[in-house]
Amino acid sequence: MLFIAKAALGVGATLALSTAYVFHEGVIRVDVDENRDGGSHVHFWVPATAVSGGLRVVPRHYIQHAAEQSRPYLPVIREVAKELEKYPDAELVDVRGPEHHKVRIAIHGGRIYIDAVDKENNIHVSVPAETIADVANRLEDAAPGI
Amino acid sequence: MNELSRGILRLSAVLVLAAFTLLPCASLAQNSAKSDQWIHVRVENKDEGGETVRVNVPIDMAVKVLPAIKHNQLHDGKVHLDCAHLDDVDLRAMLDAIRSAKDGEYVTVQSNENDVRVAKNAGYLYIHVTEKKHVAHPKKNAEGKEATSTNPGHESKVEVKVPMKVVDALFSSGTDELDIVAALRALSSNGDTELVSVKDSENTVRVWIDSKNVTD
């Protein structure tokens, strides 16, 4: 009985620790709703650690290809993400137009929120700033000097 | 007084001393955090259902990010001017003259179409332009024939107020470059300032800096 209790405690502690590790960087959340017939509705959330960790196991040529495509923007993305970590709460861009058209880029609690809403589309994305910097760094490391 | 009492007294003295030493530092740290300047841009379209654009960017962030952007004429936080002598006007020489001159009104143009005023006062360069749009009204003259007369219609006003040290920083890197990063650094050391204000019948544009991270 004591053995089972110890084993349960071990499994429980491991689960708690691994859950804490998986979610320590936060969650990437994407919600896309197209308000028309046959429009797509995409809702998913992924632990940010899965993205950073996933980049380690993706075959190198895929990473290099992604780095080639995004190379001109990587230094800017990395700097912006790094700087945004210093400003945990701010409304960076807010555009409001006719018919509830709205675009908003804000940072709250170290997460970047991008919302784009109009009559037909409703898009909400939130990503931890740390994850963006991490991905930019990994892409640059994977393909230096491209 | 026993050992314990002395110990407590010494500890209290150390804590009081530490508090007096560290409190000013904490206050300084708060002040430095408050000195973080933001540049704000607000564009409002006055039409029915018109757009409103609000952009708020920390100047420190712009200073760090700009050198990473390489696009067209922008490199290393500097904009390369293809022709420093724009229309045979030597901008640098003109700015040198303004910098060394006393405060005053340098240019005043008043015409039917535009009013222009360039002045320097208390370390700021002011540029005010008022464009007068005349509206044509058909009128019948004494002979009953139609003639058009023009009345002052909607005006558009542009007001620019730039600290001279920002202008200096802008032209600090070379004859054919505008050093945007240096200008932003100079701006961040300046207090709250309204930089640009444009008002016409359709749009209102405001660019200003302050220490708030949100638009009013």
* Structural domain contains residue B215: no
Q: What is the pLDDT of residue B11?
A: 53
Residues B111 and B146 in one domain: yes
Mean pLDDT for A99-109 is 90
d(CA B201, CA B187): 30
Residues B98 and B187 in one domain: yes
* Structural domain contains residue B192: yes
Q: How far is CA A38 from CA A34, A41, A42, A120, A124, in A?
A: 8, 9, 13, 12, 19
Residues B24 and B59 in one domain: no
Contact A90 B65 (CB under 8 A): no
Residue B155 C-alpha, separation from nearest chain A C-alpha, in angstroms? 25
Q: What is the pLDDT of residue B5?
A: 56
CB pairs under 8 A between A and B: 61
Which pLDDT band, with edges at 50, 70 and 90, does A29 fall under?
very high
* Structural domain contains residue B93: yes
Q: Residues A136, A73: contact at Cβ < 8 Å?
A: no
Span B46-104, pLDDT tens digits: 887 788 999 999 999 899 899 988 888 888 889 887 765 556 667 777 777 887 888 88
Task: Find the domain containing B141 and state its range.
Answer: 36-210
Residues B49 and B26 in one domain: no
Residues B18 and B121 in one domain: no
**Is residue A88 within 8 angstroms of chain B, CB to CB?**
no
pLDDT at B7 over 70: no
Contact B56 A91 (CB under 8 A): yes
Tally of domains in chain B = 2
* Structural domain contains residue B216: no
Q: Specify the DSSP element, H or E, that contains A29.
A: strand A27-34
d(CA B215, CA B56): 7
Residues B27 and B84 in one domain: no
| Residue B210, amino acid | D
The tokens describing B141, both together, are 């003259």
Q: What is the pLDDT of residue B2?
A: 55
Residues B13 and B114 in one domain: no
Q: What is the pLDDT of residue B143?
A: 58
The tokens describing A67, both together, are 């780095």
Q: Which residue of chain A has the CA closest to B212?
A: A90
Span B11-54, pLDDT tens digits: 555 544 454 444 444 444 444 434 488 999 999 998 877 889 99
Contact A95 B61 (CB under 8 A): no
Closest CA to B69 of A82, A74, A106: A74
Q: Residues B209, B39: contact at Cβ < 8 Å?
A: yes
Which pLDDT band, with edges at 50, 70 and 90, does B140 fall under?
low
Closest CA to B129 of B153, B108, B143: B108
Q: Which residue of chain A has the CA closest to B69?
A: A76
Residues B174 and B74 in one domain: yes
| Residue B184, amino acid | L
Span A31-61, pLDDT tens digits: 999 988 888 899 988 888 888 888 888 888 8
Contact B54 A87 (CB under 8 A): no
Q: Judged by CB atoms within 8 Å, which residues 6-65 of B form the interface with A?
A: 49-58, 60-61, 64-65
Residues B84 and B118 in one domain: yes
The owner of tokens 């650690």 is A49
The predicted complex's ipTM stands at: 0.76
HSE value, Cβ hemisphere, 13 Å, CA-based, for A68: 6
The owner of tokens 């994977």 is A142
Share of chain A above pLDDT 70, in %: 97
Residues B19 and B82 in one domain: no
**Is residue A98 within 8 angstroms of chain B, CB to CB?**
yes
Helix ranges, B1-146 (H)? 3-34, 59-65, 91-100
pTM of the model: 0.72
A111-120: Cβ within 8 A, 24+ apart: A111/A26, A112/A81, A112/A84, A119/A35, A120/A34, A120/A35, A120/A36, A120/A39
B142-146: Cβ within 8 A, 24+ apart: none
Residues B44 and B18 in one domain: no
* Structural domain contains residue B175: yes
Mean pLDDT for A9-15 is 86
**Is residue B109 within 8 angstroms of chain A, CB to CB?**
no
* Structural domain contains residue B99: yes
**Is residue A99 within 8 angstroms of chain B, CB to CB?**
yes
